[in-house]
Structure 1
Amino acid sequence: MNCPFCSIVEGEEDAVILDETEDTIAFAPLDSVSEGHLLVVPKAHYEHLFDVPEPILHAVTERARTIAERLRAHGFDGVNLLHASGEAAQQSVPHFHLHIAPRRHDDELDLWPASTHDESDFDRTYETVRTAIENGDAL
């Protein structure tokens, strides 16, 4: 397997590592979208959200929250947590990760671009999702 995040975890690839726990590691991405942008990843390799065991998902999200709280306490006004699972969602590295993009009121970033999709099927889609959740079915 040729995973750049696993290489960082193993110390084979250089990275600016900002935080590390037993199950997670946080480091600066190659291309930052905001001041202080970083990634939180599980040390074990899981390709996307659908593969991550619940305890590891919990460890990653808890660490992301802890880091976000520290960022807010040190001058940032908020954060965006960003994630993509799967090619259709534009996942660029096949290793589960969360982006933490620290934000300031005056940073003028738009990490929520306007959508151009047709909303005509929203009601039907939401009803399908609601029913699947209530029945415990796969979508």
Structure 2
Amino acid sequence: MTCPFCAIVAEEEEAEVLDETAKTLAFAPLEPVSEGHLLVIPKAHHENLFDIPDSTFRTVVTHAKTIAERLRDDEFDGVNVLHASGEAAQQSVPHFHLHVAPRRSTDGLDLWPDSGYEASDSDGSYEAVKAALEGNSQ
């Protein structure tokens, strides 16, 4: 199966390209969640956060930040930057990407809906996280 984002980079698939650097591409998603919503990807294929090299990750984040700053200076006053890695996190395309969703204080959108999850002090929610972080310290 061909990666749809790699096909966009190779110009085999159409996309509304909005910005580009030597190593990254920003384009409009098929289903935008806000006005100006775009995706920023590395041109090289990396499936997700777990396999993207640190230097490439920094390049993508820098491009996303630059885009957010340019949009904020123009007509937006906020931004959501979103990412999902892996099937459990609902990653829909197996090519690392950041969603950059420009926002206005008056847009009325809720891109961070209530999940219904409620942690309690007694459930030890963070004990497993602490143990994993301590066991996998760098």
TM-score by length of 1: 0.91
Aligned to 1:46: 46
Aligned to 2:72: 72
Task: Verify: 1:129 aligned to 2:100, yes or no.
Answer: no
TM-score by length of 2: 0.91
Residues 5-20 of structure 1 aligned to structure 2 (within 5 Å):
5-20=5-20
Inter-CA distance 112–122: structure 2 relative to 1 (3 Å threshold):
farther
Residues 18-97 of structure 1 aligned to structure 2 (within 5 Å):
18-97=18-97
- 1:69-114 deviation digits (Å, cap 9, x = unpaired): 0010001010000111111111111101000000001101000101
Q: Measure the CA separation in 2 of the matches of 1:13 and 1:86.
A: 24
Q: Measure the CA separation in 2 of the matches of 1:122 and 1:20.
A: 49
2:46 and 2:96 in contact (8 A); partners too: yes
2:119 and 2:125 in contact (8 A); partners too: no
Inter-CA distance 30–137: structure 2 relative to 1 (3 Å threshold):
same
- For 2:108, the aligned partner's letter is E
- Structure 2 spans left out of the alignment, 5+ residues: none
- For 1:53, the aligned partner's letter is P
Q: Matched residue pairs, number? A: 138
Inter-CA distance 121–78: structure 2 relative to 1 (3 Å threshold):
same
Aligned to 2:3: 3
Inter-CA distance 94–127: structure 2 relative to 1 (3 Å threshold):
same
Inter-CA distance 24–87: structure 2 relative to 1 (3 Å threshold):
same
Aligned to 1:115: 115
The alignment's C-alpha RMSD in Å is 1.9
